[in-house]
A and B are shown apart, each in its own frame.
Chain A
Amino acid sequence: MCGIVGLFLKDASLEPHLGAMLTEMLITMTDRGPDSAGIAIYSGAGEGRAKITVQSAHPGREFANLDADLKDAIGQPVLMLIKDTHAVLEVPLDQLEAARSALSHLRPTVKVMSAGESIEIFKEVGLPKDVAARFGLSKMHGTHGIGHTRMATESAVTTMGAHPFSTGSDQCLVHNGSLSNHNGVRRELKRLGMTFETENDTEVGAAFISHKIQSGDTLGHALEATLTDLDGFFTFVVGTKNGFGVVRDPIACKPAVMAETDQYVAFGSEYRALVNLPGIEGARVWEPEPATVYFWER
């Protein structure tokens, strides 16, 4: 199993409530995935700024003076916001790669969860309600976001094994299902220069899509390629700076329900996750077709 929720807002007046809406949806999906939970939230950054979300097993020690150390390394001011085991570091956009490189020297055991102009990723082991509370998810704002509750099948229950996975700037992927050819695809992607943090199948799916995009494909084409190159069961939801996409494998046994109103497009593994959204009674509710790519962008 596993639970997925996603929300893409069309109505800007809902943006302050994105975190609260997604948190409620995420907690509803607890019995599909009580092992760990995560969320990718797209909340933008200041003009010319970028964000790196990092995670540490020893945040007290490793986040201490991290902003000052990073500022010394890149010679530009750095803003740091610590949320439990994660910290969001805001740096100038043109210093993003320099900051990532400096981080790997300054705090080699700190993990980068995401980087980009809009994305922040928070994920941990534990019940979704506890994970949500640790990061204060319900207070977050943004334009769109994706959440995942994990029931592990393919790899260990660890923070890095939780979803979403991000392998490209402002990109993330969550997955319900299991891939059976991930070892072969991982070997091929490693040969092509992609790097991996885990032995997890979903990370391979994320890296596959990111590699396609890096090679010049559109997100739509990258998602279509998952249908031919990835073997196994999947409902994928992907996030980018401007929107989100959905694709299901041709067998489509992993559930998916979508709802659309003038205010939002919502995704849930089950209808239960959507029942408290505003105006759901009048929403167009449907199941995404198998082997069909859906995408919403602003």
Chain B
Amino acid sequence: MQTFDLSKEGLRALNSSLHALKGQTNMTAWEIINPKGAHAIAAGVDAPVEITVRGSTGYYCAGMNKQASIFIKGSAGPGVAENMMSGKVVIDGDASQYAGATGNGGLLVIKGNASSRCGISMKGIQIVVHGSIGHMSCFMAQSGSIVVLGDAGDALGDSLYEAKIFVRGKVKSLGADCIEKEMRPEHLEHLEDLLRRGEADHKAKPEEFRRYGSARKLYNFNIDNAAAY
């Protein structure tokens, strides 16, 4: 176990140590103490290691993550796991705005609530939120899935492409071109898998969710649909 005191050694030293990990390494377990809301903690990691952050983080923690499993034992600031490529990020507390934005792959688990714009423009990431998500979540989301055990705020899935949205609680309002869709057996199976991987299978069952997706009317600009934008 490598323990790193961020308040003593600083962010650049941390991230350059993490960036130096290439492929197989024997330094597979890292613990970061005193994060104190610092920005860009463990951003840009590209190695199959486990990183535990003991406290709350600021902007862009675990951004661009590839391969690593990153555990935040507190809450995360804006843009956590932004543009994640693979690996896993698990947040014990809440996440601020645009969690998982533009994520290409990997799994993001938020055990508390996520704020506005969760999963905005997601491109393949899987997101499981144990609590609720804020307004404008999944705006222009292209692919991947999001599972929300609580409620969703205004304008969910506005201008959505092919991302799959599952919400158990209330949706305050759906955005343009986002509609409720039929839950078929393959969706229930997919949900079951995501709930298990998102450590939420003891809290919710697949049958309790509703599925939302794109009505596919706004994919290409059509003057007849101008009023819907």
Contacts and interface: CB of A to CB of B under 8 A. Distances in A.
A267 to B, nearest CB: 14
B124 interface: no
B116 A271 contact: no
Interface string A258-289: 00000000000011111110000000011100
A252 interface: yes
A43 B151 CA distance: 43
Nearest to A31: B39
Given A287-B115, A290-B116, A290-B135, A270 B94 contact: no
A274 B75 CA distance: 13
Contacts of A285: 56, 75, 94
Given A255-B78, A286-B94, A287-B96, A271 B115 contact: no
A8 B75 CA distance: 23
A286 B95 CA distance: 10
B150 interface: no
B34 to A, nearest CB: 9
Nearest to A286: B94
Interface residues of A, number: 16
A253 interface: yes
Chain B facing A: main interface SS: loop
B37 A252 contact: no
Interface in B76-91: 77-78
B17 to A, nearest CB: 22
Given A253-B97, A275-B36, A287-B96, A270 B135 contact: no
A271 B94 contact: no
Interface in B43-66: 56, 58-59
A271 B77 contact: yes
A138 to B, nearest CB: 20
A270 B40 CA distance: 13
Contacts of A252: 97, 116, 135
Given A285-B75, A287-B115, A272 B37 contact: yes
Nearest to A276: B36
Contacts of A270: 37, 58-59, 77
A23 B77 CA distance: 22
Contacts of B94: 285-287
Contact of A271 (B58, B97, B135, B136): B58
Interface in B164-204: none
Nearest to A254: B97
Interface string B23-37: 000000000000011
Interface string A190-219: 000000000000000000000000000000
Given A252-B97, A271-B37, A285-B56, 5 more contacts: A252-B135, A255-B97, A271-B58, A276-B36, A290-B134
Q: Which 6 A-B pairs have the closest CB atoms?
A: A272-B37, A271-B37, A275-B36, A287-B115, A275-B37, A271-B56
Interface of A: 251-253, 255, 257, 270-276, 285-287, 290
30 contacts: A251-B136, A252-B97, A252-B116, A252-B135, A253-B97, A253-B116, A255-B77, A255-B96, A255-B97, A257-B96, A270-B37, A270-B58, A270-B77, A271-B56, A271-B58, A271-B75, A272-B38, A272-B58, A273-B37, A274-B37, A275-B36, A275-B37, A275-B56, A276-B36, A285-B75, A286-B94, A287-B97, A290-B116, A290-B134, A290-B135
Interface of B: 36-38, 56, 58-59, 75, 77-78, 94, 96-97, 115-116, 134-136
